[in-house]
Structure 1
Amino acid sequence: MKANGKIKLLAASLGVSMVFVTACAGGDKEGAGTGTQNPGGSTNASLKEDEAANLVVYSNSGDSVESWNERFGDALKQKFPKYNIKYVQKTKEFGLKELLTNGETIDIYWDSIGSFASTVLDNNMQYDMTELMKPRGIDFSKMEPTVADSVKLIDKTKVYGIPVFNNNMVLYYNKDIFDKFGVPYPKDGMTWTEAIKTGEKLTRFDGKQYIGLSSSQTHILNMNQLSIPFVDPDKLTPTINTDPRWKELFETVFVGPAKAAGYKEYMEAHKSVIPYRDEFLKEKEVAMFAWLSSIIFVYPEEYKSMNWDMVSLPTFDGKPKIGSQAYPTYFTVTNMSKQKDQAMNVINYLISEDVQKQLSKKGIMSVLKDESIRKLYGQESAFKDKNMQAAFYNDFAPIPAKTKFESLLLTPYAKAVPKVILTGDYNTVFRSTEEETAKKINEAKQQ
């Protein structure tokens, strides 16, 4: 399909994202809407809550059936006993292409902000849910503002996705490394300058090389605190060599920590990449690591093996209390669904206060701005004794305009990080990255 450069989408990759389908039935209904559910929701029989339904749910996340049931499936079976809801897990051998080839009708699609809009729109499966939202009293004003506003980046007048859960970034730290070198633990509200200074004290050799501070570069770039877009939404050109904020971000978050003695040598001994997941979780050589607030539930056993805690993501000196961008996951009724009311009932229930409370207790960040729900975050999880409220210490950075090309640019932008650290040559690295990504955009336009 040909890319429509004027369509503004949300598409930037996180390393964990999802997908969707081609349209067949129905069409967009015009109208504008805003969205979360009023407590209790509507139980009007006309909404077909008590009618039997066979619904297929799909995501390219690869999340297991067990994970789906634990978070959503079990609650949905209890709420809608007459609904037969089948969750299809993506695997290496079976994904969207195979589903479509087999003629499967997908009723509900969910995906993170990273690839939701581009996949939905590129595959022409979008459906404006405005008219479905009205009788159910769905109101986005109860959601965290930047999450609610992000829906408008998909389309200014239509509602193609409803946020169901959220994510952001925090700073994890290994207490044992701090204790080993007698360094005080980090605290909520630290700046990057303070974190870098702390990291310098922990970047030391003692039987093996320890690294004080590192980050998941893809997530830092994707959810950057300076709200820098990957692509100029008007020119549809990469911004890495034209927006000066990229240099500020690289210098502060990536280059700053790497100035500590021994850091670059460590990188060179590890395939010239910055310390990442294995170095933090398995080798336990990294003292502080900036990563997703939800990642502890992706690698629970690894975290259980570590003496750790978490604090808020360090902030830029000139932007106090501004953390990472939110990274919501959207659910949508597809235009191929023949049971749109029932599919919408499912989404409506997932954003109800009752379900959002249960998700929050499990450590799944709510999209609602309700303080009482935030206080429940992680309280029924294996990590309830940790500083889980660190995830809410900062405000969310605004989410910038996105284009459908973001997912193509994330990897090249991320590869620029170690190159800049090891060479110090911003101009050459940014220029070559700009050339590479401009070519990717042009090639995508021709498809």
Structure 2
Amino acid sequence: MNTRRLSIILVLAFLLSTLQACTPSTDELDEDDEFLEEDSPDFGLDSDRLGTVTIRWYGNNARELRYDDEVYFDKIHQKFPNIEIERYEEFMDDKRLQPTGSDAPWPIDQLTDMLSAHKEPDIIVAYTELIPKLSELGLLSDMEEYVSANKLDLSRFEPAFIEQVRSYSPNSQLLAVPYMRTLHAMSYNKAWFDKAHIPYPTDGMTWEEWMPWAANIKKQYEEMNVGSTLLYAASRGFGYPLLAQQRSASILDADTGKANVTNSDWTAIARIMQLHYGWIHTPFEMYNAIRQLTPFPHKLEYSIDLYESTYKFINSIYGELYLEQSDWDMVSFPTFEDKPGVGPDFAGEVLSVNPNSEHREEAFEVLSYLISDEFQTWNSRIGNGSPLVNPNIHAQFGVENSFYTGKNVRAFFLNHPAEPVKKNAKEPEAEYRMNRLMDGLYNSSASDLSEQLNNWEEQWNTPSDQ
């Protein structure tokens, strides 16, 4: 070894020993890290580094409450062990039992209390109809910013549901994303059809085919004199708004607010309402049905869906809670001949992130999980419709729900949702006033339809002070 090489080795050894002497002990490192953590901002979801993050969850009685709370929120916590959810949910009270004209009937008392206490919600799940009010309060983010940042892929959603959300937004913004899809079908009592020697209904029936079919069922039912143990037809989840959705028909002109119901769309709707009584008309009444709080204004008894019937229209929101038939199956919801394959499905619930949230990143991560293929598959398996277009998710529908065992669940997916229409701000009030007309059409004379629709339109369009 030469002298130059020996000198370099000695210098390196000296420097190494000097660095080791200057290096703090393990205890000193822990103390410094603890100090640094206290001043470190919260950058993300790394629970090992940052500890627990609490986000406020605001739910307006949407479908997540159908699950056992522990199962639902435990599933979120398993995905994000560092996130604790502080839940705030609305509940109906006596003062909100009746619709309030054109005002949204959904309760927001809990939300009002939150804002008064300066407790901004971080993530919001609510009925689609609440979008205008939440937007007015500045609580919904424009989800396009996540699209532009490549954090949200809208092509995964059923296009009609994206447009439905836009139709409720003041300037057609995307202020939320669809969360669940309400599926519709028609159930029938197999035992009764066997007894009456009538063939079962089939998928793909049109309303034009359904009308003489339903009239024949009613005739056979009356002739068999089956008594009070079986109803001719009882559908808690059926009403004229579903037919209006199929036809993309609104009551009012979106720009002028004038009624426009003397047309072929509303005539077709009225003809069906003559044969099947509509017990659920507005979303508010469906809300009341789910909450099981009060009889409806048109005297529907709560227990009526607990009886067996020849056929019923059901949906995925609460059909299994009320359909107490021992031997039943289902077929697709009837469609109009001039609107082939168009059903009344809609995105009943939506998700959004509060732009004022202090934990927007974490809230969006939770939102992203709830609309992920993973969560939506689990959601579908227990019997909830997914707003995504993924056929593999739809194929899993109800496999973990005994209510659908052996049933024709594909009937839920044979139709596609209609294109939504822009609605005037007074449309909810018009829907509520339309209830009385539609109730009166049941078993009425066909010759009266045009006259009744014309009278209703004139009454709406004539100012009360004239």
Residue 391 of structure 1: how far off its partner (Å): 0.6
Q: Which moved further from structure 2: 219-228 or 356-365?
A: 219-228
Residue 397 of structure 1: how far off its partner (Å): 1.7
TM-score, normalised with respect to structure 2: 0.71
> Are the counterparts in 1 of residues 240 and 273 from structure 2 also a CA contact under 8 Å?
no
For residues 117 and 164 of structure 1, the distance between their equivalents in structure 2, rounded to whole angstroms, comes to 13
Residue 81 of structure 1: how far off its partner (Å): 0.9
Residue 160 of structure 1: how far off its partner (Å): 0.8
Q: Percent identity among equivalent residues?
A: 22
Tell me the equivalent position of 1:307. Answer: 327
CA offsets 1:91-133 (integer angstroms, 9 cap, x no match) = 23463334444443212222232x1322212333232233345
Aligned-residue Cα RMSD (Å) equals 3.4
Residue 62 of structure 1: how far off its partner (Å): 6.3
Residue 327 of structure 1: how far off its partner (Å): 3.0
> Are the counterparts in 2 of residues 141 and 148 from structure 1 also a CA contact under 8 Å?
no
> Are the counterparts in 2 of residues 326 and 396 from structure 1 also a CA contact under 8 Å?
yes
Aligned residues: 379
CA offsets 1:375-396 (integer angstroms, 9 cap, x no match) = 0011111223211111101122
Tell me the equivalent position of 1:91. Answer: 91
Residue 55 of structure 1: how far off its partner (Å): 1.5
For residues 345 and 442 of structure 2, the distance between their equivalents in structure 1, rounded to whole angstroms, comes to 24
Tell me the equivalent position of 2:3. Answer: none
For residues 450 and 238 of structure 2, the distance between their equivalents in structure 1, rounded to whole angstroms, comes to 19
> Are the counterparts in 2 of residues 218 and 410 from structure 1 also a CA contact under 8 Å?
no
For residues 157 and 97 of structure 1, the distance between their equivalents in structure 2, rounded to whole angstroms, comes to 25
Tell me the equivalent position of 2:314. Answer: 291
Tell me the equivalent position of 1:33. Answer: none
- Secondary structure of 1:95 counterpart: helix
Tell me the equivalent position of 2:378. Answer: 358
- Secondary structure of 1:166 counterpart: strand
Q: Which moved further from structure 2: 344-353 or 152-161?
A: 152-161
Tell me the equivalent position of 2:178. Answer: 163
> Are the counterparts in 1 of residues 60 and 127 from structure 2 also a CA contact under 8 Å?
no
Tell me the equivalent position of 1:120. Answer: 134
Extract unaligned runs of 5+ from structure 1: 1-44, 259-269, 443-447
For residues 405 and 242 of structure 1, the distance between their equivalents in structure 2, rounded to whole angstroms, comes to 18
Tell me the equivalent position of 2:427. Answer: 406
Tell me the equivalent position of 1:21. Answer: none
- Secondary structure of 1:172 counterpart: strand
The one-letter code of the counterpart of 1:88 is Y
Matching of residue 147 in structure 1 with residue 161 in structure 2: yes
In the alignment, which of 203, 208, 226 is matched to residue 188 of structure 1?
A: 203
Change in Cα spacing, 1:111 to 1:230, as seen in structure 2 (3 Å) is: farther
Tell me the equivalent position of 1:108. Answer: 123
> Are the counterparts in 1 of residues 306 and 323 from structure 2 also a CA contact under 8 Å?
no
TM-score, normalised with respect to structure 1: 0.74
The one-letter code of the counterpart of 1:159 is L
For residues 379 and 306 of structure 1, the distance between their equivalents in structure 2, rounded to whole angstroms, comes to 19
The one-letter code of the counterpart of 1:78 is Q
CA offsets 1:250-283 (integer angstroms, 9 cap, x no match) = 11x212458xxxxxxxxxxx9996989744x223
The one-letter code of the counterpart of 2:382 is K
Residue 207 of structure 1: how far off its partner (Å): 4.2
> Are the counterparts in 2 of residues 218 and 414 from structure 1 also a CA contact under 8 Å?
no
Higher Rg: 2
Extract unaligned runs of 5+ from structure 2: 1-41, 94-108, 278-294
Residue 171 of structure 1: how far off its partner (Å): 0.8
CA offsets 1:318-345 (integer angstroms, 9 cap, x no match) = 2322222423421011233221111111
Q: Which moved further from structure 2: 366-375 or 84-93?
A: 84-93
In the alignment, which of 246, 249, 254 is matched to residue 233 of structure 1?
A: 254
In the alignment, which of 169, 188, 194 is matched to residue 179 of structure 1?
A: 194
Change in Cα spacing, 1:381 to 1:358, as seen in structure 2 (3 Å) is: same
- Secondary structure of 1:105 counterpart: coil
Residue 78 of structure 1: how far off its partner (Å): 0.6
- Secondary structure of 2:191 counterpart: helix
Residue 69 of structure 1: how far off its partner (Å): 3.2
For residues 150 and 301 of structure 2, the distance between their equivalents in structure 1, rounded to whole angstroms, comes to 44
For residues 206 and 122 of structure 2, the distance between their equivalents in structure 1, rounded to whole angstroms, comes to 45
User: Map of 1:235-254 to 2, 5 A cutoff?
Assistant: 235-239=256-260, 241-251=261-271, 253-254=272-273
Change in Cα spacing, 1:350 to 1:71, as seen in structure 2 (3 Å) is: farther
Q: Which moved further from structure 2: 197-206 or 181-190?
A: 197-206
For residues 439 and 311 of structure 2, the distance between their equivalents in structure 1, rounded to whole angstroms, comes to 18
Residue 408 of structure 1: how far off its partner (Å): 2.5
Q: Which moved further from structure 2: 45-54 or 223-232?
A: 45-54
> Are the counterparts in 2 of residues 196 and 257 from structure 1 also a CA contact under 8 Å?
no
The one-letter code of the counterpart of 1:85 is I
Change in Cα spacing, 1:48 to 1:131, as seen in structure 2 (3 Å) is: farther
Matching of residue 347 in structure 1 with residue 370 in structure 2: no
Tell me the equivalent position of 1:224. Answer: 245
Tell me the equivalent position of 1:321. Answer: 341
Higher normalized helix content (fraction of residues): 2
The one-letter code of the counterpart of 1:234 is D
> Are the counterparts in 2 of residues 170 and 311 from structure 1 also a CA contact under 8 Å?
yes
Tell me the equivalent position of 1:74. Answer: 74
